[in-house]
Amino acid sequence: MIHREIHRSEHIGWLRAAVLGANDGLISTSSLIVGVAAASPGRGPVLIAGLAGLVAGALSMAAGEYVSVSSQSDTEEADLARERQELATQPALERAELAGIYEKRGLTAELALQVADQLMAHDALGAHARDELGMSEATRARPLQAAMASAAAFAVGAALPVLLAAIVSMSILSIAVSGSSLILLGVLGSVAARLGGAPMTRGAVRVMFWGAVAMAASALVGRLFGTTV
């Protein structure tokens, strides 16, 4: 019977992008709406600002994540190309290098060579990528996946304050957006901490704190500048 273990590290790539995107979408769009609402009593400017923030933020997150992860992917591909060339031109040295890695992990020299031979016969590049470079399918950089996850998560996070800006009375809009956003931030922080194996309370408190700081600062700017915003 095959025992299938599920490790948190298998999800770290998309989880990081999704949580970052949702938190950023919620905090930035809520702060934008609260700030504009504090400066202008009209629903139109507030709603336009929220929608513009949602679209611009989602595209910005996607672009930033794509560029960042693409740089990591380029580095990985360059390392793999180098290993591929070395395997083709210096197979004996690569065999000895791989065996040396296994010796350092506790295998005898004879057994290390046997393991290196068998793994290289099966998938030489994969063995070197995994054991020499530390690469695996679970941790490989995936730019498009990261970009799409970030954009979608940002849009989902930003959707709540935009929806509230469209339906809630302007007299209580700032309170409604701030309160609901802080609650959702707490939920997101708890879920992220739980999936990552960290204390849920600490994860919730820290994201709620910085969300509250961002919205308070935006509201202050809106009130200071008034309708000139």
pLDDT band at 163; cut points 50, 70, 90:
very high
pLDDT(3) > 70? no
- Spatial neighbors of 188 by CB under 8 A, at least 6 apart, are 19, 22, 23, 26, 157, 207
Q: What would the two tokens of residue 20 be?
A: 């970052």
Q: What is the pLDDT of residue 31?
A: 92
pLDDT of residue 88: 79
pLDDT in tens, 34-54: 999 888 778 888 999 999 999
Least reliable range by pLDDT among 100-109, 148-157, 164-173: 100-109
The pLDDT of residue 228: 46
> What integer is the mean pLDDT of 160-171?
91
Return the pLDDT at 51.
93
Q: CA 226, CA 211: separation in Å to the nearest integer?
A: 22
